[in-house]
């Protein structure tokens, strides 16, 4: 029997963002590890794919099965501990890292990396803890570990050193008293930046380090340039997500500051083009007035260059589309689904200028139109409460049953100001699809903030009525807009599952989500024109 090429299969599933396939492969591979007499060489490659894809649950499963072969393989222990940290299991991860750091039989590089892992565990504990004494203790332990590792080889272990810089700066901002003799932020950051600039090899981690050092030194224009240099190294999704988390959680950057408004969208934009990238859009981002002015002034183009400027323009357009997305909810703020604004006449000439589109199974099948509240949560802080509206009229409804179009079109008793309705695409992307994307914006799980769905977002197939895509969704996403790569509306999300029948006579099933095509909705309106139903 020909043996399976496990790494190749994992890489293939990761390259198409096929989360169910990765989960199935991980379960099969973990079972396989219990059938072989010794740990196969493929385990390291498999764990690397899972880490790069940020599939931490699957990584834990495989690493646990690998460790059943014995406590060897330091890389397996490191990957396992890393997955535990990112899964929030800090105390267990700390134990693994501590054992590996003390294991004299392990290579020195693995022991040094494990010490960095110990530092990260204490750093995460510091960020999570609110009790002052324990919080200070976690910070001091993290600093101690990072500095000790860095001082063993300052030219090589700059990653440990820059984490110490970030924590020193955070302690100053938070008013936490540090042990006597602690290094000065500026001096240590300058030393690290000079070491990075003299390094013979530049990579994603050296650029991350340089960016953080520039932040610590107050050289913000340089920090943005270093952030761009990091993106140009084509980092993995794991690296981008780690850097983004560091800037937000430790450096406390957000888009209300000039530096955060330049750096965070740059990194979020990068997540859109790497495997496993995902972004939750904060309502503060949606309400920021600056991005449009910056784009019009060309400031970001000057900083980032033409290619990156286009990517940021794409991201900013996505934020603008979020403002047209609303949560459909009850009077007591229970989220039922999602809806979005479109120009009614783009769908049918008899419709009002502005309408909200959602699923028929959201309104009226699950919530009576007269009881529905339509809330644009990106506008929640408006003093006049301009983000909340009621349904005035129902213009069109197609049921969800029996392969119906599952669509409702509503007129509201008012609309938010300065919100651009979602533009409609002229058609679906031409076939073959060649890994075209489908982007979903909604309120998954009834969340208050609208979220981009940017993971596993391959457009799989479509026919005259529905399109299938691998964009992850959950309860509350019903009624979300599905957009093409230019943020033009191509579908209305309404269903999904792990056993969806494939389209166009392909046979079999696959894991997919399903949306009603906008062409099908327009066709349905032409066949049965809208009629006003006042509530």
The per-residue pLDDT for 534 is 75
The per-residue pLDDT for 83 is 92
At residue 250 the predicted structure's pLDDT band, cuts being 50, 70 and 90, is very high
Question: Residues for the chain: how many in total?
Answer: 535
User: How many whole angstroms separate alpha carbon 261 and alpha carbon 265?
Assistant: 7
The per-residue pLDDT for 280 is 55
Given a cut of 60, is residue 164 above it in pLDDT? yes
Tokens of 301: 């183009």
Tokens of 373: 């509240």
User: How many whole angstroms separate alpha carbon 19 and alpha carbon 293?
Assistant: 38
| Pairing of β 388-398 and β 481-483 | unpaired
Mean pLDDT throughout 407-418?
A: 94
- 82, exposed or middle or buried, with CB in 10 Å at 0-12, 13-18, 19+? buried
- Angle between helical axes of 42-52 and 19-33 (0-180°, round to 10): 150
pTM of the model: 0.68
Given a cut of 70, is residue 439 above it in pLDDT? yes
User: How many whole angstroms separate alpha carbon 324 and alpha carbon 326?
Assistant: 7
At 439 the three-state DSSP class reads: strand
Mean pLDDT throughout 263-275?
A: 74
DSSP H helical segments within 198-236, as ranges?
204-216, 220-232
The per-residue pLDDT for 286 is 53
The per-residue pLDDT for 370 is 93
Decide if 385 contacts 417 (C-beta within 8 A).
no
User: Residue 419 — φ and ψ, nearest 5°?
Assistant: -110, 125
Given a cut of 50, is residue 328 above it in pLDDT? yes
Decide if 418 contacts 378 (C-beta within 8 A).
no
User: How many whole angstroms separate alpha carbon 183 and alpha carbon 195?
Assistant: 17
Mean predicted lDDT score pLDDT of the chain: 86
Given a cut of 80, is residue 282 above it in pLDDT? no
203-207, 369-373, 422-426, 475-479: the lowest-pLDDT one: 475-479
User: How many whole angstroms separate alpha carbon 493 and alpha carbon 358?
Assistant: 9
217-226, 264-273, 392-401, 441-450: the lowest-pLDDT one: 441-450
* Residue 475 or residue 227, greater confidence: 227
Given a cut of 50, is residue 306 above it in pLDDT? no
Decide if 490 contacts 484 (C-beta within 8 A).
yes
Mean pLDDT throughout 72-85?
A: 90
User: How many whole angstroms separate alpha carbon 517 and alpha carbon 486?
Assistant: 16
Name the residue among 493, 534, 535 with its Cα closest to residue 514: 493
b/e map of 518-527 (b: 16 or more CB within 10 Å)?
bbbbeebbee
The per-residue pLDDT for 447 is 67
Name the residue among 193, 224, 194 with its Cα closest to residue 209: 193
139-143, 322-326, 438-442: the lowest-pLDDT one: 438-442
Decide if 465 contacts 520 (C-beta within 8 A).
yes
User: How many whole angstroms separate alpha carbon 476 and alpha carbon 338?
Assistant: 6
User: How many whole angstroms separate alpha carbon 134 and alpha carbon 520?
Assistant: 59
> Percent of the chain, pLDDT > 90?
56
If you write DSSP's letter for every residue of 244-261 in order, what string do you get?
Answer: HHIIIIIS---TTSHHHH
Decide if 83 contacts 63 (C-beta within 8 A).
yes
Given a cut of 90, is residue 465 above it in pLDDT? yes
The per-residue pLDDT for 102 is 93
Decide if 366 contacts 336 (C-beta within 8 A).
yes
Given a cut of 90, is residue 9 above it in pLDDT? yes
Given a cut of 90, is residue 277 above it in pLDDT? no
The per-residue pLDDT for 301 is 38
b/e map of 322-358 (b: 16 or more CB within 10 Å)?
bbbbbbbbeeeeebbbbbbbbbbebbbeebbebbbbb
At residue 2 the predicted structure's pLDDT band, cuts being 50, 70 and 90, is low
Using CA atoms in the order 185, 260, 124, 194, what is the torsion angle rounded to 10 degrees?
-40
User: Residue 411 — φ and ψ, nearest 5°?
Assistant: -105, 135
Half-sphere exposure of 448 (CA within 13 A, CB side): 11
Decide if 165 contacts 189 (C-beta within 8 A).
yes
Tokens of 178: 């540090």
Given a cut of 50, is residue 111 above it in pLDDT? yes
> Percent of the chain, pLDDT > 70?
86
Tokens of 289: 């007035």
- 150, exposed or middle or buried, with CB in 10 Å at 0-12, 13-18, 19+? buried
How many other C-beta atoms lie within 10 A of the C-beta of residue 534?
Answer: 7
Given a cut of 80, is residue 97 above it in pLDDT? yes
Mean pLDDT throughout 325-337?
A: 91
User: How many whole angstroms separate alpha carbon 486 and alpha carbon 243?
Assistant: 27
Given a cut of 90, is residue 170 above it in pLDDT? yes
Domains of the chain: 201-322 (no CATH), 325-535 (2.40.10.120)
Mean pLDDT throughout 458-474?
A: 83
User: How many whole angstroms separate alpha carbon 346 and alpha carbon 98?
Assistant: 62
Tokens of 335: 């989220």
At residue 461 the predicted structure's pLDDT band, cuts being 50, 70 and 90, is very high
User: How many whole angstroms separate alpha carbon 378 and alpha carbon 443?
Assistant: 12
pLDDT tens-place string over residues 346-385: 999 999 999 999 999 999 999 999 999 999 976 544 444 4
Cα separation of the two ends of the chain: 68
Tokens of 28: 């099969």
At residue 59 the predicted structure's pLDDT band, cuts being 50, 70 and 90, is very high
At residue 433 the predicted structure's pLDDT band, cuts being 50, 70 and 90, is confident
Tokens of 498: 């792990």
Given a cut of 60, is residue 259 above it in pLDDT? yes
The per-residue pLDDT for 290 is 43
The per-residue pLDDT for 94 is 96
346-350, 392-396, 504-508: the lowest-pLDDT one: 504-508
User: How many whole angstroms separate alpha carbon 76 and alpha carbon 489?
Assistant: 44
């Amino acid at each position: 029997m020909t043996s399976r090429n496990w790494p190749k299969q994992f890489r293939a599933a990761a390259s198409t963002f096929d989360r169910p396939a990765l989960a199935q492969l991980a379960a099969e591979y973990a079972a396989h590890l219990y059938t072989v007499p010794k740990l196969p060489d493929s385990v390291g490659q498999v764990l690397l794919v899972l880490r790069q894809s940020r599939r931490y649950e699957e990584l834990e499963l495989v690493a646990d099965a690998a460790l059943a072969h014995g406590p060897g393989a330091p890389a397996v222990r490191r990957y396992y501990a890393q997955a535990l940290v990112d899964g929030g299991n800090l105390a267990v991860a700390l134990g693994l890292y501590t054992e590996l750091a003390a294991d004299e039989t392990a290579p020195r590089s693995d022991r040094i990396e494990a010490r960095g892992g110990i530092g990260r565990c204490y750093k995460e504990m510091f960020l999570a803890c609110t009790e002052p004494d324990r919080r200070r203790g976690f910070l001091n332990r993290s600093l101690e570990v990072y500095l000790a590792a860095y001082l063993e080889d300052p030219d090589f272990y700059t990653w440990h050193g820059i984490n110490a810089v970030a924590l020193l700066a955070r302690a100053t901002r938070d008013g936490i008293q540090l042990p006597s003799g602690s290094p000065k932020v500026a001096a240590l950051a300058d030393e690290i930046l000079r070491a990075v600039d003299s390094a013979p090899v530049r990579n994603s981690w050296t650029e991350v380090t340089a960016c953080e050092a520039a932040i610590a030194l107050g050289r913000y224009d340089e920090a943005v340039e270093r952030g761009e240099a990091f993106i140009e190294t084509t980092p993995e999704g794991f690296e981008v997500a780690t850097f983004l988390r560091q800037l937000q959680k430790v450096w406390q950057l957000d888009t209300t500051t000039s530096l955060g408004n330049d750096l965070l969208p740059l990194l979020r934009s990068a997540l859109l083009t790497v495997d496993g990238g995902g972004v939750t859009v904060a309502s503060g981002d949606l309400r920021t007035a600056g991005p449009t002015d910056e784009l019009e002034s060309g400031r970001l183009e000057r900083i980032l260059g033409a290619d990156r400027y286009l990517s940021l323009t794409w991201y900013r357009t996505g934020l603008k589309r979020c403002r047209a997305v609303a949560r459909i909810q009850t009077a007591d703020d229970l989220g039922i689904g999602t809806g979005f604004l479109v120009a009614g006449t783009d769908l049918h000439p008899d419709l009002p200028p502005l309408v909200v589109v959602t699923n028929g199974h959201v309104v009226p099948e699950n919530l009576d139109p007269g009881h529905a509240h339509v809330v644009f949560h990106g506008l929640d802080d408006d003093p006049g409460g301009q983000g909340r509206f009621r349904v005035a009229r129902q213009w069109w409804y197609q049921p969800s049953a029996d392969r119906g179009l599952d669509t409702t079109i509503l007129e509201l008793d008012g609309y938010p100001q300065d919100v651009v309705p979602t533009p409609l695409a002229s058609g679906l992307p031409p076939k073959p699809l060649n890994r075209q994307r489908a982007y979903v914006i909604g309120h998954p799980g009834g969340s208050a903030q609208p979220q981009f769905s940017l993971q596993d977002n391959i457009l799989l197939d479509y026919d005259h009525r529905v399109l299938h895509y691998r964009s992850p969704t959950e309860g509350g996403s019903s009624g979300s807009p599905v957009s093409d790569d230019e943020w033009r509306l191509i579908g209305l999300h309404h269903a999904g599952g792990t056993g969806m029948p494939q389209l166009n006579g392909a046979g079999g099933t696959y894991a997919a989500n399903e949306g009603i095509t906008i062409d099908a909705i327009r066709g349905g309106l032409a066949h049965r024109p809208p009629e006003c139903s006042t509530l």
